[in-house]
Chains A and B, each alone.
Chain A
Amino acid sequence: MNSSVIVFPGSNCDRDVATALTNLQFKNKMVWHKDSELPKSDLIVIPGGFSYGDYLRSGAIAAKSNILKEVIKAAKSGCLVLGICNGFQILIETGLLQGALLRNKNLKFVSKDINLKIINNENKFCKNYKKNSIINLNIAHNEGNYFTQKDHLKELEDNNLIPFKYCDIEGSINESSNPNGSLNNIAGILNNNKNILGMMPHPERMVNSLISNSNGIELFTSILNK
């Protein structure tokens, strides 16, 4: 399976995700934001980091870059697109995913390992996870407080477009297990066609139990066997 990782000035999780993909037998290529052609890809990853120094709004400038025009075209024709952290913010700014990522409610940059409940696994990114299982991933962001309008929230809930919610170790989804103030503890969302996933947590940081844990692996293996 061919994957492409888009690299912007300020990306800093690009090589982590490339390593995760390569170790899992993806044929990966790094693609510079100024490029105007995408290599043949089954999966496009927009990695975490601080593209363009988060100027104006996180992801706003990257969303207007050359290569994003190609990413938008590919996404609209059904290619799988995964945006992690700043990648999620960029997908929101392109309009490929709806809603907004606001400043964390407590105004702090939050960097810690959190628990997530798999709310929906009937999609190409999560099918190797068991529904309602709890996984532990890392988050590191300042603007991860997901917000959307009521009718869109209903659409997300009704169409199973929320794969992950923040929870505690027992799986309770409540205010105390919400690290950033995100609406209904939402940690990631899919588009209506379920080929675009944006998520704040970092699965690429959890692919090796020697340095963290391996809870992120299933996300990539789900894609491999799509």
Chain B
Amino acid sequence: MKFAVIITLKKDVLDPQGKVVEQTLQSMGINSLKNLRQGKYIEIDLIESDEKIARNIIEEMCKKLLVNLIIEEYKIRKI
């Protein structure tokens, strides 16, 4: 069973990389750009057929290693 974890900085945490990408896109003439935040995307393949159990395992991975909960937040998607 495959999952994607999307990790982004929390709203209040400064995202200097995202800011630079945003400013560059704006300077390229994309005027409709309002806000951009940069993050990480991780694909995980699990040997587990029960989705609920699988999601719990991914949650545990996020909390124990993949995400720094002080500054980051995450979303889990089945893919």
Contacts and interface: CB of A to CB of B under 8 A. Distances in A.
A107 B71 contact: no
A163 to B, nearest CB: 21
A99 B14 CA distance: 14
A102 B14 contact: yes
Interface size class of B (residues with CB under 8 A): 10 to 19
B16 A60 contact: no
Interface of B: 13-14, 16-17, 20, 65-66, 68, 70-71
A100 B68 contact: yes
Interface string A99-136: 11011111100000000000000000000000000000
B66 A105 contact: no
23 contacts: A56-B65, A56-B66, A57-B68, A64-B65, A93-B68, A98-B70, A99-B70, A100-B68, A100-B70, A102-B13, A102-B14, A102-B71, A103-B17, A104-B16, A105-B14, A105-B16, A107-B16, A107-B17, A107-B20, A145-B14, A147-B13, A148-B70, A149-B70
A104 B20 CA distance: 13
A57 B72 CA distance: 11
